[in-house]
Amino acid sequence: MRISITILQYDHGIIRQVLDVVGELLRSHRASRYGPELKEALTFLEQFVDRFHHAKEERFLFPAAMEECPKVAETLALLKKEHVQARRTVRSALRALEEGNVEKAERDAMRLVERITLHISEEENRVFPVIENFLAMETDAKLYEQYQAFMQKKFGAGYYQVAEAFANDIQDRVLGPGFFKGIV
């Protein structure tokens, strides 16, 4: 186990929760009724996924992994491209909402949900297990410190509480309390 990987997997859990809410909202054609919630969820994803989670992967984990596990270099380059795509898609969806083009916003949001869901599976199933095997304990500890310093400086020490509260709140507002518990 490596704490620097566990933290990113924890982020993935929060991201998945919000993606599932957005996906469910779009599939049940309730985007027009839940316009403000869709906007809030996309705004959250733009910050938590792009500026926080992907930034930590790109600034800290990926460069360290390239040094200690060069065979993942090509895969990491691909993942970075997917980060760029995700950034473009979430911003495009927000812009479309801003312009009142709900149909385009829905299309972009659906693409975002599908792509990030796949991206997360790829990291969890194929990339992180390989990195975990190679990453030195000292590097792992250093990465953890870097994550913490980055979060405190840019988002505040309580960012996880804020993000978790948002994910639970948006889920309850859109799907009703305990929605996912009921279907699992």
Interface with Fe ion (CB under 5 A) = 57, 79, 123
Distance CA 33, CA 148 (A): 38
User: In this complex, which beta carbon is closest to Fe ion, that of residue 31 or of residue 116?
Assistant: 116
Residue from 84, 64, 180 nearest 128 by CA: 64
User: In this complex, which beta carbon is closest to Fe ion, that of residue 81 or of residue 154?
Assistant: 81
Q: CB atoms < 10 A from the CB of 95, how many?
A: 13
**Least separation in angstroms between CB 9 and Fe ion:** 8
User: In this complex, which beta carbon is closest to Fe ion, that of residue 57 or of residue 140?
Assistant: 57
What separation in angstroms does the CA of 29 have from each of 1, 96, 140, 142, 180?
Answer: 41, 17, 44, 45, 18
**Least separation in angstroms between CB 12 and Fe ion:** 6
**Least separation in angstroms between CB 136 and Fe ion:** 21
**Least separation in angstroms between CB 79 and Fe ion:** 5
User: In this complex, which beta carbon is closest to Fe ion, that of residue 14 or of residue 79?
Assistant: 79
